[in-house]
Amino acid sequence: MQQPEEQARTRIDQLLSDAGWVIQDRNDFDRHAGLGVVVREFHLPAGYCDYLLFVDGKAAGVIEAKKVGVTLSSVAEQSAKYVAQLPEHLARWDQQLVYHYESTGEETFFCNLRDPKPRSRRLFAFHRPETLHEWLRQPETLRARLRTMPALETKGLRECQVEAIHGLEHSLAEDQLRSLIQLATGAGKTFTACSFSYRLIKHAEAKRILFLVDRNNLGDQTLKEFQNFQPVGAANRFTDTYIVQHLHGHRIDPDAKVVITTIQRLYAMLRGKPLDESEEEVSAFEKWEGEPGVVLPLTYNPEIPIETFDFIITDECHRSIYGLWRQVLEYFDASLIGLTATPSKHTLGFFNQNLVAEYPYERSVADGVNVGYEIYRIRTRVTEEGGKVEPGDVGYQVPVRDRRTRRLRYETLDEELAYSGKELDRSVVNPNQIRTVLQTYRDRVFTELFSERSGDWLPKTLIFAKDDNHAEEIVHAVREVFGEGNNFAKKITYRNSGEDPKALIKAFRVDPMPRVAVTVDMIATGTDIKPVEVLIFMRDVKSEGYYEQMKGRGVRTIPNADLKAVTPDAETKTRFILIDAVGVSESKKNASQPLERKRTLSFDALLEQVAMGRRDEDAMSSLAARLVALDRKLTDEDRRRLAEASGGQAPRQLANRLLDAIDPDAQQAAITERHGLSPNPQQEEEVVEGLLDEACRPFDRPELRHLLKDIKQKRDIVIDEVTTDTLVDADFDLQRAEQTITSFKDFIEDHQDELTALQILYNQPLGQQRLTYTAIRELVIAMLELPPHLAVANVWQAYKRLEASQVRGAPVDEQLTEVVSLVRYALGQADTLEPFGSAVERRFNLWLGREKKAGREYSAEQEEWLRTIAAYIAANAEIAPQDFMEAPSLADKGDILRARQVLGNGLNEMLNELQEALVA
């Protein structure tokens, strides 16, 4: 039996051989036997090294081998002794060995002494000799080149994108292997990635970059972004200079500089297994929502060596990429760059808390990159409480639809069927509930939600359904409720038959029709559809990250002309409406991290994982519980089929065997029976493994697993046409408005001593508040830039929701003085919240009345001048003589000279008086 050290060297030899090294003993030493030669037990001045590496005939590195379990950080010092002392006669690449590895065969570390600050990093396997040869011939290492990147050309970049690139390049220069960039949805994450990818390839001479996407159609979108990207100062677009490959097969183009793929395809490639193409078409946000953090079994693949990529970009990939799939990422010797709109705690943990740039959604709204949103809650009785079908209601017959074929038949109902709101649209469909929600939307959309619209064009609406069957029901209901044809509403899912989903997405984005798209998850993440103004959630979502991604489909701004092209009666997209018909905005969300509790793991996944060898107690007990629950619902026919597939065992019996196998008393009894009262740990482990394997053996049969899944899924969907649904409530979410107002009041309270405008408004009585444009501008900028990043329009809208009777009109876009009305109203200095210009106009009319009472009459031309001056004061809070020369509204009337001719030589005093009367 091999000793631990021998086992480690056997494993190391295999890894070296797989990577293309020729392995020799010292007595058979031939340094030219191949490009890469490894010599065991080579004598150096510091002693015998375990392995000496020769590249192209010259010594280049050393490997220090240790038995499994040894921690390797201290071993680096031992490697360093060999590296530093070499025989004078030894052919070498440098005065000292450039590379040193420490390895147990299970764990390997590597250090390149040519790096600016040499630091060991963990590897999945060894580098190929061709790679080390290429590195040795380069004048500088990649990490050295990252420290000398030229200045960034910021033309065409948003400020947040500049911050992201600067932060990333600083992180890479410091040799941080994992860097996370947070950019709000709509802030241009992919464009930013194109920008820094170009710089990494051109200036840092990166060999190849991997770009991971969540779904295949997002890969198409990413490819298009690279095809349209033209770097500043470059004569050609990115793809005219560099090859960008969107993987659809199992071969990476050796000349490709950027490779775009899903992690599902990459995993299949590494394992040398075929890929079911449909796996790339489903959002992994949802597909792996309940999966625990299981390490996938990967081995070294010589066709895809660990140095294939220098950098890996993960774009909004599902949380399991940092848990279930993380071994795929850690296979490569590459720096990881994460792009996210909503970083979870687990994502931050995976990236070592190295958040190099942060641009949250609130800031993006304040900057005008995205639009804000309001929640409109629709509650119906069936949604809240569920429903009930009694046999007598329909003459003992109910419609039943086959989930797979969608064939409709009628069956006798043996007993009362009661269902909860959670079961709605899964095992029971209530068309009346769907119609009630849609009718409420139809009736309120132009009276409450978009009252300024003509009513001729329904705002582009995206509806999230629970599954493909639910989506199908919704599409037909939309057409019926709105009295429109097939082109009005389309289902856009992966199961579309006869219509290309990508073509439908494009039409929904750029054409007037369809007005409504119904999806499950195909448009839930990443897909850019800027004209969408309404999101309707008819499904709940438990993942916080997935919910934020789905909300992101509505936040994108869009040029007015582009919006009018698809929605002719729309002027500007200033917000979107999130219609919550299921309580998604109120339900508790899970943090986006791999789950350790198994109760949320799907039945299908549990079966498959047990079949693959999973044996932990949580999984076994969870599967047993599911089988017991299933046993209660079986028909006689189900029991007969299961007995044939399982060798005569019912689900309850299968469950009992699982529970017995994990029962400590049963385990101990089996151990004692076989090995007596004093077994050793290895004997105990063997017995327990045998019990677990025996209990799980029936699930090795695919026919049993398929049958259990089929029965558990209950392919039949009962259609409840009897229970009528009624609207319980439909209104805007006031809690969000309350939070906004509270945040605003806290902000002005906290900053009253720092901002000049607030000092004046807090401390000076009305009539003496002499505000300046500079002070007001300082306040508005501070509101936008400081947490909680408040925009005047959003605070105004919140007051309108909560105190509608006290709010008159809406703020004028980009007129900074509107903030004065907000602060005065918040402080109780004004009874109503109205546009600043309205207050100024009212004050001006009062001033004009006082002037007439005092015997000062004004001609029509004089009054016209005075009203122009008042309008300027309303927009700027102050006025000075030089403004008559610079402001178009005043200069076009004849500047200061004409004003003095019309209003007299006392103009300066009059301006001062007006400013005090209208603003203070």
What per-residue confidence (pLDDT) applies to 799? 92
pLDDT tens sequence across 413-445? 555 566 666 665 555 667 888 899 999 999 999
Same domain for 457 and 547:
yes
Please tell me the predicted confidence (pLDDT) of residue 109: 93
Nearest Cα residue to 658 out of 627, 613, 696: 696
* Whether residues 238 and 110 fall in one domain: no
Is a pLDDT exceeding 50 seen at residue 593? no
At 706-728, the pLDDT tens digits run: 888 887 765 455 555 556 667 77
Kindly report the average pLDDT of the chain as a whole number.
Answer: 84
CB atoms within 10 A of CB 871: 16
pLDDT number for residue 555? 84
Lowest-confidence region among 1-15, 46-60, 115-129, 863-877: 1-15
- How does pLDDT run across 283-292, given as a tens digit for each residue? 554 444 434 4
Tell me the CATH number at 299: 3.40.50.300
Q: Which residue has the higher pLDDT, 678 or 63?
A: 63
Is residue 337 predicted with pLDDT exceeding 70? yes
Which letter, b or e, does each residue of 626-652 get, where b requires 16 or more Cβ atoms within 10 Å of its Cβ? bbbebbeebeeebeebbeebbeebbbe
For residues 583 and 331, the model is more confident at 331
Amino acid code (one letter) for 448 = E
Mean pLDDT confidence for 191-201: 96
pLDDT of res. 406: 56
Residue 403 confidence (pLDDT): 55
Which residue in 227, 187, 203 sits closest to 153, CA to CA? 203
Q: Are residues 754 and 895 in the same domain?
A: no
- The phi-psi region of residue 220 (left if phi > 0; otherwise alpha if psi is between -120 and 50; otherwise beta) is alpha
813 contacts: CB under 8 Å, gap ≥ 6 = 793
What residue has token string 């469950």? 655
* Upstream peptide bond of 835 is cis (omega within 30 degrees of 0): no
Helices 773-785 and 756-763 cross at an angle (nearest 10°) of 110
Residue 477's pLDDT band (cuts 50, 70, 90): very high
Average pLDDT over residues 351-357: 90
**Cα torsion angle, 145, 146, 152, 157, sign:** positive
Tell whether 573 is covered by a domain: yes
pLDDT score for 401? 61
Q: What local confidence, expressed as pLDDT, does residue 293 receive?
A: 40
What is the pLDDT at residue 278? 66
pLDDT for the residue 525: 56
**Distance separating alpha carbons of residues 669 and 540, to the nearest angstrom:** 47
- Domain range for 575 is 375-388+395-410+422-580
Q: Tell me if 213 sits within 8 A of 222, measured CB to CB.
A: yes
Choose between 540 and 488: higher pLDDT.
488
Instruction: Report how far apart the first and last C-alpha atoms of the chain are (Å, whole number).
Output: 94
Highest mean pLDDT among 60-64, 524-528, 730-734: 60-64
Q: Are 182 and 323 within one domain?
A: yes
Tell me whether the omega of the peptide bond preceding residue 514 falls within 30 degrees of 0, making it cis: yes
pLDDT at 200 over 50: yes
- Burial tier of 698 (Cβ tally within 10 Å: 0-12, 13-18, 19+): buried
pLDDT at 289: 41
Of residues 725 and 358, which shows the higher confidence score? Answer: 358
- Collect all residues with Cβ–Cβ distance below 8 Å to 354 and sequence separation of at least 6: 171, 176, 178, 179, 180
Mean pLDDT of the region 293-310: 82
Same domain, 509 and 539: yes
Split at pLDDT 50, 70, 90, the class of 348 is confident
Do 208 and 287 fall within a single domain? yes
Segment 393-416 shows an average pLDDT of 57
Q: Residue 38: CB partners within 8 Å, gap ≥ 6?
A: 16, 21, 22, 23, 24, 51, 52, 53, 54, 63
Based on the structure, what is the number of domains in the chain? 6
Which of 277-281, 415-419, 493-497, 788-792 has the least mean pLDDT?
A: 415-419
Q: Residues near 582 by Cβ (< 8 Å), separated by ≥ 6?
A: 383, 421, 537, 538, 539, 540
Contact by Cβ (8 Å): 533, 566: no
Q: Which pair of structure tokens corresponds to residue 425?
A: 């649209």
Last residue of a domain, one of 700, 718, 745: 700
Enter the tokens of residue 384: 């809240």
Specify the 3-state DSSP secondary structure of 603: helix
pLDDT at 84 over 70: no
Label the pairing between strands 108-112 and 209-213. unpaired
Report pLDDT for 102.
Answer: 92
The Cα–Cα gap between 318 and 526 comes to 12
Instruction: Please choose, from the candidates 204, 8, 218, the residue with its C-alpha nearest in 3D space to the C-alpha of residue 106.
Output: 8
CB atoms closer than 10 angstroms to residue 332: 22
Mean pLDDT of 616-630: 78
Statement: the pTM of the whole predicted model exceeds 0.75: no
Answer yes or no: is 593 within a domain. Answer: no
Q: What is the pLDDT of residue 891?
A: 86
- 724 vs 583, residue with greater confidence: 583
Interacting residues of 794 by C-beta distance below 8 A, sequence separation 6+: 365, 372, 740
858 and 739 within one domain: no
For the segment 539-552, the average pLDDT, to the nearest whole number, is: 76
Tell me: pLDDT of 504 over 70. yes
Task: In whole angstroms, give the CA distance from residue 810 to residue 315.
Answer: 39
Q: Could you tell me the two tokens for 270?
A: 């590494």
Same domain (yes/no): 687, 652: yes
List, in sequence order, the alpha helices (H) in 613-733.
617-631, 636-646, 651-662, 664-675, 681-696, 702-713
Residue 81 above 70 pLDDT? no
Query: What pLDDT, on the 0 to 100 scale, is given for residue 613?
Result: 86
Regarding whether 217 and 114 lie in a shared domain, the answer is no
Per-residue model confidence (pLDDT) at position 128: 98
Helix (H, G, I), strand (E, B) or coil at 206: coil
Torsion angles phi and psi, residue 353, rounded to 5: 60, 20
Does residue 24 lie in a domain region?
yes
Return d(Cα 866, Cα 874) in angstroms, integer: 12
The pLDDT tens digits of the residues spanning 233-251 come to 888 999 999 999 999 888 9
User: Is 74 part of any domain?
Assistant: yes
Among 804, 834, 864, residue at a domain's last position: 834
- Between 260-269, 305-314, 345-354, the lowest mean confidence (pLDDT) is in 345-354
Residue 687 backbone dihedrals phi, psi, to 5 degrees? -65, -45
In this prediction, residues 1-16 reach a mean pLDDT of 85
Of 816, 834, 852, the one marking the end of a domain is 834
219 part of a folded domain: yes
The per-residue pLDDT for range 17-60, each reduced to its tens digit, is 999 999 999 988 999 999 999 999 998 888 888 999 999 999 99
Residue 598 lies in a domain: no
515 and 498 in a single domain? The answer is yes
- 391 vs 736 pLDDT, higher one: 736
DSSP state of 812: P
pLDDT at 295 (0 to 100): 42
Least confident window among 106-110, 547-551, 595-599: 595-599
Q: Is the pLDDT of residue 462 over 70?
A: yes
* Same-domain check for residues 860 and 827: no
Please state whether 694 falls in left (phi above 0), alpha (psi between -120 and 50) or beta: alpha
Alpha-carbon distance of 261 to 268, in angstroms, equals 11
Residue 710 covered by a domain? no
Q: Cα(678)–Cα(675) distance, rounded to whole angstroms?
A: 7
Of 794, 341, 781, 260, nearest in space to 556 by CA: 341
Q: Which of 280-289, 335-344, 804-813, 826-835 has the lowest mean pLDDT?
A: 280-289
Q: What is the pLDDT of residue 596?
A: 25
Is residue 597 in some structural domain? Answer: no
538 lies in the same domain as 659: no
Residue 606 exposure: Cα atoms within 13 Å on the Cβ side: 24
Q: What's the pLDDT band for 615 if we cut at 50, 70, 90?
A: confident
d(CA 653, CA 253): 53
**Residue 184, Cβ neighbours under 10 Å: how many?**
25
Mean of pLDDT values over 262-290? 71
Q: What percent of the chain has pLDDT over 90?
A: 35
Secondary structure tally for the chain: helices H, strands E: 37, 27
Specify the pLDDT at position 286.
46
Which residues lie closer than 8 Å to 915 by C-beta, 6 or more apart? 770, 873, 877, 878, 879
Helix (H) or strand (E) run with residue 478 in it: helix 468-482
Could you tell me whether strands 243-246 and 256-262 are parallel, antiparallel, or unpaired per DSSP bridges?
Answer: parallel
